[in-house]
Amino acid sequence: MPVENQIRNLRVAFENGKLTRDLYAKNLLRLLGLSEHPTAQKVAAAFIVGRIDNTLLVRNLGNLRSAAAPPPPDPLDLPPPQ
């Protein structure tokens, strides 16, 4: 759970005015493992310039993160137990 704690701490720092939008977005991408994802970078850029708010940023990045995760293996493709 340390990643969730880091994300929470990052959000609190941003909400308290200790981080700029740019630093917040870039660190959030890094913590979510989406630094290299082109769509995530576009979403972050929209947040940085103020076209979307924090709620929409987090929702979109969460959707991208779950879409980027590999699906669980199909039980029919697994080898039989031994």
Domain boundaries, the chain: 2-69
Query: Across residues 44-54, what is the average pLDDT?
Result: 96
Does the pLDDT of residue 1 top 90, yes or no? no
Q: How would residue 73 be classed by pLDDT, with cut points 50, 70 and 90?
A: low
Decide which of 56 and 80 is more confident: 56
pTM of the entire predicted model: 0.78
Q: Is the dihedral of CA 48, 52, 55, 61 positive or negative?
A: negative
Whole-number pLDDT of residue 2: 86
At residue 44, the 3 state secondary structure works out as helix
7 Cβ contact list (under 8 Å, min separation 6) = 28, 31, 32
Query: Across residues 12-27, what is the average pLDDT?
Result: 96
Averaged pLDDT score across all residues of the chain: 88
At residue 20, the 3 state secondary structure works out as coil
